Amino acid sequence: MAKNDLIGGSIWEEYSQKVQDLMNNPRNKGELTEEDAKKLGGKLIVADYGAESCGDAVRLYWIVDPKTDRILDAKFKSFGCGTAIASSDTMVELCKGKTVDEAVKITNIDVEKAMRDHPDVPAVPPQKMHCSVMAYDVIKKAASIYKGVDMDSFEDEIIVCECARVSLSTIKEVIKLNDLKTVEEITDYTKAGAFCKSCIRPGGHEEREYYLVDILEETRKEMEQERMKEAADASSEGKELAFNDMTTVQKIKTIEKVIDENIRQFLVMDGGNLEIIDVKENGAYTDVYIRYLGACAGCASSTTGTLFAIENTLKEKLDENIRVLPI
């Protein structure tokens, strides 16, 4: 929140001049018929995408030269808001003259960029990126009809966020490399989820196959398993392992070992002892809960000098962020 956010703007103010002009006068609106196809010596393809019940639907007409696969003419019809009309129109403009194989490479991002007035200023506000995705999907639909193949065959990767075109593999990689813990962080790093927000969690504008919340949870689980596996492998191979990379069981064993080797003998000499009750991860800290036994219980030094000695030994031998808490 800041000065510019407090008084809400109108999304219409965020449309580029090009978007506005295309909304008012789309160049490629209309239909193509079998007759038109015959005249040009091509094949008519009509593809539908979306549904009026979802707020946008687009129909794409192509006449394709069957010998060269080149798109000889294209038009569209669209049920949707102005940006859907402008995006569809731009998409058709980009299709014309290309081969079908070239056309399926046009993405929603190409469509949006083509509508910018200035290369660095988005043509539409974030929630309207969704409209350009429709334009992109309908191309794939048309190409799949023309080639008699499945739409998914044009997609090499699983796309989680259609608006920003971010793939599942990218999102998982970014989570792992940067140790991301929240969906907001994923959006900051990848832009996934920044636009229509459908891919963040179920219940948004559009039903999705993958949601960021699930991907995050799953990837965190994978990371945890990988870490445990590495730790287990390392210890079975007898390798030294940093305290922080250990599993909880390994941490407890290690703490136990340090206490046995460095501390317990001094307590026993004075007729006392201690037992480890629990070890808990507490944010950046590892909290070690201990109970004094024998003469140590009730000894004045057990909460001062002795305690500091135990904690300092663990800190020195294992990790700076260990805290010892007597109960």
Partner 1 sequence: MRVYLDNNATTMVDPKVKEAMDPFFCEIYGNPNSLHDFGTATHPHLRKAMDQLYAGINAADEDDIVITSCATESNNWVIKSVYFDLIENGEKNHVITTEVEHPSVLAAFKWLEKRGVNVTYLPVNSEGIVEAHTVRDFITDKTALVSIMWANNETGMIFPVEEIANICAQKGVLFHTDAVQAIGKVKVDVQKVKVDYLSFSAHKFHGPKGVGGLYIRSKKELSPLLNGGEQMRGLRSGTLNVPGIVGMGQAMELASYYLEFENDKVRKLRDKLEDALLEIPDTFVVGSKEKRTPNTILISVRGVEGEAMLWDLNRAGIAASTGSACASEDLEANPVMEAIGAEADLAHTAVRLSLSRFTTEEEIDYTIKEFKKAVERLRSISSSYAYKPQQV
Residues of this chain that bind partner 1 (CB under 8 A): 11-12, 23-24, 26, 29, 31, 33-34, 44, 46, 48, 51-59, 77-85, 127-128, 130-131, 145, 196-197, 204-205
Of the two residues 58 and 183, which places its CB atom closer to partner 1 in the complex? 58
State in angstroms the smallest separation of the CB of 12 from partner 1. 8
> Active site residue: 131, 163, 196, 296, which one?
131
Instruction: Report the C-alpha gap between 190 and 324 in whole angstroms.
Output: 40
Whether 54 sits among the annotated catalytic residues: the reply is: yes
Based on its alpha-carbon atoms, the radius of gyration of the chain, rounded to whole angstroms, reads 31
State in angstroms the smallest separation of the CB of 24 from partner 1. 7
Of the two residues 119 and 148, which places its CB atom closer to partner 1 in the complex? 148
State in angstroms the smallest separation of the CB of 98 from partner 1. 22
Instruction: Report the C-alpha gap between 297 and 307 in whole angstroms.
Output: 12
Q: Which amino acid is at 151?
A: M
Length, in residues, of the chain:
327
Count Cβ atoms below 10 Å from residue 108 Cβ, excluding itself.
24
Of the two residues 204 and 326, which places its CB atom closer to partner 1 in the complex? 204
State in angstroms the smallest separation of the CB of 205 from partner 1. 4
State in angstroms the smallest separation of the CB of 99 from partner 1. 21
Element containing residue 256 per DSSP (H, E) = helix 248-262
Of the two residues 49 and 292, which places its CB atom closer to partner 1 in the complex? 49
Q: What angle do CA 103, 108, 110 make, to 5 degrees?
A: 70
Three-state secondary structure call for residue 17: helix
Give, in order, the Cα–Cα distances in Å from 263 to each of 195, 236, 273. Answer: 58, 26, 9
Structure tokens of 270? Answer: 């004075």
Pairing mode, strands 322-326 and 285-294: parallel
Whether 95 sits among the annotated catalytic residues: the reply is: no
Of the two residues 82 and 272, which places its CB atom closer to partner 1 in the complex? 82
Supply the residues annotated as catalytic: 54, 131
